[in-house]
């Protein structure tokens, strides 16, 4: 993946999301879920790194610009980290 440019995270609410998935369909479906909720600069295709399993993609979100009816009306919902394995 390319380095993250400062402009991509220049203010609160901007995110760079790197996705690793087993296949194209999974990665693109996850990206679509994000795009349905927030303004998102989406990737048109995934990439595959030689000698690495699965595929990757990068998308950019702006949590300050809700996209669609499922978008939060106040703030960003709490996200809890998964329990360690």
For residue 44, is it within any domain?
yes
For residue 85, is it within any domain?
no
Of the pLDDT bands very low, low, confident and very high (cuts 50, 70, 90), residue 85 is very low
Classify the C-alpha dihedral 83-49-26-14 as positive or negative.
positive
pTM of the predicted structure, to 2 decimals: 0.66
Domain that holds residue 29: 11-66
CA–CA separation, 17 and 9 (whole Å): 11
For residue 1, is it within any domain?
no
pLDDT digits (tens, 9 = 90+) for 28-38: 999 999 988 88
Number of domains in the chain: 1
Q: Which residue in 2, 46, 40, 41 sits closest to 22, CA to CA? A: 46
For residue 5, is it within any domain?
no
For residue 82, is it within any domain?
no
């Amino acid at each position: 993946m390319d380095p993250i440019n400062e402009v991509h995270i220049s203010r609160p609410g901007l995110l760079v999301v790197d996705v690793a998935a087993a296949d194209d369909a999974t990665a693109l479906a996850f990206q679509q879920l994000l795009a349905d909720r927030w303004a998102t600069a989406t990737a048109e295709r995934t990439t595959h790194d030689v000698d690495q399993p699965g595929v990757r993609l990068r998308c950019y979100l702006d949590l300050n610009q809700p996209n669609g009816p499922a978008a939060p009306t106040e703030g960003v919902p709490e996200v809890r980290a998964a329990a360690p394995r």
